Each structure stands twice: as structure tokens, then as C-alpha cells.
Amino acid sequence: MTETHAIRPFNFVSTSHAKLAVTNSGGSGTPLLLIHGNSSCRQVFARQMRSDFAARCRLITFDLPGHGQSEDAHDPARTYSLPGLADCTVELLERLGVSSAVVLGWSLGGHVAIEMLSRFKGMKSLILTGTPPIRRGGFVEGFVSSPADGLAARRHLSEAEVDTFARAMFGEPVEPFLQGAIGRSDGRCRQGLFEASRAGLGVDQRLAVEGSALPVAVINGAADPLIRLDYLDDVAYRNLWEERCHRLDGAGHAPFWHAADAFNALVGRFLGELEREPAGPEGPAVGCAQKMASTQASRM
């Protein structure tokens, strides 16, 4: 493991879904849970674990079932869907004694985080990166090409396909640790996620973020080759931080890695505002709850 992606030591935490590899910085600060993407691993957040905001937060990141150093799911049919992964994540937080947290999700991790909105009552706010909140069956709306038809949904990947997948997900240069993570990942998870989606499992994610009063920060790479950035701009988030989706110049699908300084600065500012703002009856008053009304008015 090289210095660029090495993170703190980890422990195993047993859940009913799988035994999970968890890195937990400890401390008394606001818990920030980071959830990685499809066929990835917790090491992708190494540059957040060493960020300025890490000194004032309790950072928690883990390998999803079937990923990294975690076990494969005990019952793939139960776990390998967005509801299953969300339930597993909520159970992990319970095992860690975390009753409230900010949740940051990348790509698949963001979809899991949105699924958690109705499951984890202690969610304080949501940070999405590389995650278009799509309607049921709305892959074509949110993605440049449907991931259900590509490598992201394929159970078995050749060595060349692993390399192609890594380049699309993470950009250049291709990090060897990510190639290793893709090769290790349980292909039944990739396959199961999209089979479950086609079967209608999970929430309508667009409606979920449009209806949630929690502050939502959206931070994407301006050169993301996988998602439709204009689609994200058109979502009528109820409480979008700074009234806009942030785009980081020159960054692709993994801005937290290739534009880590700019990404971390935004996350740090968002967390700082959460800490300063008093919580109202529907959550912290960060962002702008007016975008839904203004967006709907513009369509009339």
C-alpha cells in the first residue's frame, strides 16, 4: 500500500449482512460517514482522512459488503441492492454507537446515502458527488449512458475490462489500488444492484432529495464523463447548499481525489456552516429551501 492511498488502521465490525472493514478516526467531533462507489474501496477517501476538516470531525469510512477487506454478503439477495446496502450501513452506525452523522456518498455510495434518508433518522445532512438522484428507471436521464448496460452491472470482468472500468470511474492516472479493488469486488453485487433496480426496489431518488428538508451539498467534477451535470442542476432540491451544484474544473468522476484541495475546502466550509447554524424543527437551516419554488415557477 503506497503513501498516496494509505489510511488509518481499521477494525472489523460484524453486522448481519457481512463483517465490515471500518476505519474510524474517533474523537468527539461531528461524525462524517464516507461511502465509496461501485467496485471500489474505502481507500479512495485517503485524501479526506488527511484533510483540514478531519481534525474537527469523526471520520468513518468502510468497505461495503463484497468490497475491499470486508466479507462478501452472507445473503447476496438481501444485501446487494440499494435498500440492502442502506440497511447494512445503518446497522453499522448502530454498532458503532453513532446516532447522528453527516453522510458523504460517491457514485454508488451517494445512491446508498439517498436511500438512507428514510432509514437513518439521525442524518444531519447529505453530501453527494458523482451521484445523479434519478427517478426509478431513470438511468438515461442522469447518466451519459446507462450503467445498467455496461461494466458497472457486469458480474465477471476481464483484466482489460477492469482497466477500462477503473479509467472511467477514477480517471488518469489509473491507480493500481483501485484496479485491485475492482478485481477483488464481488461481481454478484454489480449484477444484483441493477437487477434489483429493474425490479423496482428502492426509493425514487429524485423525489427523495426534492422532498427532504436536510441540507444537501452537491460537488462534482466539471469533466465527469459518466453523469449528466445539467440533469443535476435541474433537480429541485428542497435545501441545496449555496443554491447551486458545485463543479470543480478539470476533475472527472472522482473530484475528491484529483481535485482534493478544492473538494476538501468546499466540504470543510459546508461542515463549518452546519456547526454554526442552529437546527430548526426540520433540521439545520443551511442552504436554500427556495429552489424548488423558483424551479417550478421557471417551468410554468
Expressed as residue numbers, the domain containing 164 is 11-298
In a domain, 6, yes or no: no
Q: Is residue 4 part of a domain?
A: no
Identify whether 1 is part of a domain: no
Domain annotation covers residue 258? yes
Q: pLDDT value at position 286? A: 58
Q: Are 136 and 200 in contact (CB under 8 A)?
A: yes
> Taking the model in full, what pTM does it have?
0.92
Counting the structural domains of the chain, the total is 1
Residue 2 belongs to some domain of the structure: no
Residue 4 has pLDDT above 60, yes or no: no
Please give the pLDDT value at position 161.
96
Out of 11-15, 130-134, 224-228, 284-288, pick the least confident.
284-288
Position 270 in a domain: yes
- Establish if 38 belongs to a structural domain: yes
- Cis peptide bond N-terminal to 173, omega within 30: yes
Long-range (24+ apart) CB contacts under 8 A made by 75-80 are: 75/17, 76/186, 76/188, 76/189, 76/192, 77/192, 78/17, 79/17, 79/18, 79/189, 80/186, 80/188, 80/189, 80/191, 80/192, 80/193, 80/196
Range with lowest mean pLDDT among 123-137, 186-200, 265-279: 265-279
Domain-embedded: residue 5? no
Instruction: Give me the mean pLDDT over the 252-276 stretch.
Output: 96
CA neighbours closer than 13 Å in the CB half-sphere of residue 224: 30
Q: What is the mean pLDDT of residues 93-116?
A: 98
The enclosing domain of 137 has a CATH number of: 3.40.50.1820
Which residue did the predictor score with more confidence, 136 or 81? 81
